[in-house]
Amino acid sequence: MEVAVRVVQAACTLCQRVQGSLLHPASGAGGVHSKLDRSPVTVADWGVQAIVSWLLSDCFQDENISIVAEEDDETLSSRDGAAFLEYVVDAVNGCLIEAPRYGLRSPEKELKAHDILQAIRRCNSTGGPEGRFWVLDPVDGTLGFVRGDQYAVALALIEDGEVVLGVLGCPNYPMKKEWLNYHQRYYRLMSKVSPPTSGSWHKGCVMYAHRGCGQTWMQPLVHDVGKLDWRNSREVRVSTVSDPVSATFCEPVEKANSSHSFTAGLAHSVGLRKQPLRVYSMVKYAAIARGDAEIFMKFARAGYKEKIWDHAAGVVIIQEAGGVITDAGGRPLDFSRGVFLEGLDRGIVACSGPLLHHRIVDAVDASWNSSTL
């Protein structure tokens, strides 16, 4: 757990630098590349994957460490990807040289392009029901990342099909939950008008939990406070709200990722009255674990398969904070069947407590046949 938190801290610093460059193109960050499925990928996606792969291998002295991760090296290895690869190499080395700030070891010499490609390529595990492997989403919510909004670095460890620990780095997550309702550009503007007091950490955090410990912890980003200090960690718990009228529910920003019309109908049927909080990435899971929201619902279009890296870290973080997360049939999410959440019943429901969870699951049963999903 300690290694995983340190590694995610380092990865978040790289993301912050790349996102800052993307928002100020003159500084150069390699831009945004479109994958075959038209989803975006950036220097940060490849850079984080390389950093996490290298650091985990170095910390555990295991060059064959097993990692399931989202990105591959195909684009970077191509002629068209040469410019992107240069940006990735620079970003990775610029971050790794500061590894001692996180209590990690820097490489003895700068990594070359072939070292970076090898580190990315090592993340080729396909998961499964046996053994131990890491699961990484280097930049969960890349669309939010390129828009200057919410995103997360998600790292989990799975043993024999069960998620045993999860770490979520949320570099743009404001410490005041009210700020989640505002676009990050507005938030940054207001932060300049009224800057935080000296020595405080006002946005950005890393959350982490280990299965069975009954606790979820949160600490500020090293980028904000200078050096990793475990004394800055604090325990977080889910909200105690159980009345739907007072509950806040989250859902994905993009309609392509979830049916907003179906979740709106469910919300109305169970008595939810607040406007939905639409947030990119697993920051939604962090919001529930920290008590900033009570419900997350996602019902993807027919044919879409959920990937394990989009949920593994968030699941254990919510559960250990006191929350409940299952598929829409009330069954635990199954991380033992490869890179996809195979056998998922309709969708995913996460709640701060069992009362709200039961109401949502019952409402799904009552409404499903009339849906177009």
Our count of domains for the chain comes to 2
Residue 188: per-residue pLDDT: 58
C-beta of residue 126 within 8 angstroms of C-beta of residue 68 = yes
Residue 37: per-residue pLDDT: 58
As a whole number, mean pLDDT of residues 257-281 equals 86
Q: Does residue 269 share a domain with residue 307?
A: yes
Q: Please report which confidence band the pLDDT of residue 117 belongs to, taking 50, 70 and 90 as the band edges.
A: very high
Q: Does residue 251 share a domain with residue 230?
A: no
From 13, 42, 45, 73, active-site residue? 45
Q: Does residue 155 share a domain with residue 39?
A: yes
Q: Give the neighbor-by-neighbor strand order of the sheet with 203-210.
A: 67-69, 132-140, 152-159, 162-174, 203-210, 216-220, 234-236
Whether 151 has a pLDDT exceeding 60, the answer reads yes
CB atoms within 10 A of CB 189: 11
Give CA–CA dist 172/157, Å, rounded: 24
The answer to whether the annotation marks 140 as part of a ligand binding site is yes
**3 lies in a domain?**
yes
The answer to whether the annotation marks 74 as part of a ligand binding site is no
Does 62 participate in catalysis according to the annotation? Answer: no
Q: Does residue 325 share a domain with residue 307?
A: yes
The answer to whether the annotation marks 334 as part of a ligand binding site is no
331's tokens: 């069954």
Whether 259 has a pLDDT exceeding 90, the answer reads no
As a whole number, mean pLDDT of residues 72-76 equals 88
Residue 193: per-residue pLDDT: 63
What is the pLDDT of the chain when averaged over all its residues? 88
Give CA–CA dist 136/161, Å, rounded: 15
What CATH number does the domain containing 5 carry? Answer: 3.30.540.10
- Top mean pLDDT of 177-186, 219-228, 232-241, 295-304 is at 232-241
The answer to whether the annotation marks 310 as part of a ligand binding site is yes
Residue 199: per-residue pLDDT: 46
Give CA–CA dist 321/89, Å, rounded: 37
State whether the Cα torsion 79-80-84-86 is positive or negative: positive
292's tokens: 């900033």
216's tokens: 């979820």
Show which of 184, 212, 234 is a domain's final residue: 234
Q: Does residue 310 share a domain with residue 219?
A: no
**214 lies in a domain?**
yes
Give CA–CA dist 190/175, Å, rounded: 14
Rounding to the nearest 10 degrees, give the CA dihedral for residues 126, 129, 132, 137: 50
Q: Model confidence over 297-334: pLDDT tens digits?
A: 998 877 889 999 999 999 999 999 999 999 999 999 99
Per the structure, the complete domain to which residue 334 belongs is given by 244-371
Count, residues in the chain: 373
Q: Model confidence over 332-355: pLDDT tens digits?
A: 999 999 999 999 998 999 999 999
CB proximity list for 223: less than 8 A, separation 6 or greater: 12, 13, 16, 171, 204
Q: Does residue 278 share a domain with residue 143?
A: no
Does 142 participate in catalysis according to the annotation? Answer: yes
Residue 334: per-residue pLDDT: 97
Name which of 26-35, 158-167, 264-273, 349-358 the model is least confident about.
Answer: 26-35
Q: In the chain, pLDDT over 70 holds for what percent of residues? A: 86
CB proximity list for 160: less than 8 A, separation 6 or greater: 129, 130, 131, 132, 336
Q: Does residue 167 share a domain with residue 55?
A: yes
Show which of 188, 205, 234 is a domain's final residue: 234
Show which of 179, 210, 234 is a domain's final residue: 234
From 13, 42, 142, 263, active-site residue? 142
**272 lies in a domain?**
yes
Q: Does residue 274 share a domain with residue 295?
A: yes
Residue given tokens 């990865």 in the structure block = 11
Answering whether pTM is above 0.75, one says yes
Q: Please report which confidence band the pLDDT of residue 38 belongs to, taking 50, 70 and 90 as the band edges.
A: low
- Among the listed residues 119, 167, 171, 134, the one whose alpha carbon sits nearest the alpha carbon of residue 15: 171
Q: Model confidence over 158-210: pLDDT tens digits?
A: 999 999 999 999 999 876 676 666 555 555 565 566 655 544 456 789 999 99
Task: Label residue 144 left, alpha or beta by phi (over 0 means left) and psi (-120 to 50 means alpha).
Answer: alpha
Q: Does residue 81 share a domain with residue 47?
A: yes
**239 lies in a domain?**
no
Name which of 95-104, 253-262, 290-299 the model is least confident about.
Answer: 253-262
**119 lies in a domain?**
yes
Q: Does residue 207 share a domain with residue 79?
A: yes
Q: Does residue 284 share a domain with residue 182?
A: no
Q: Does residue 298 share a domain with residue 222?
A: no
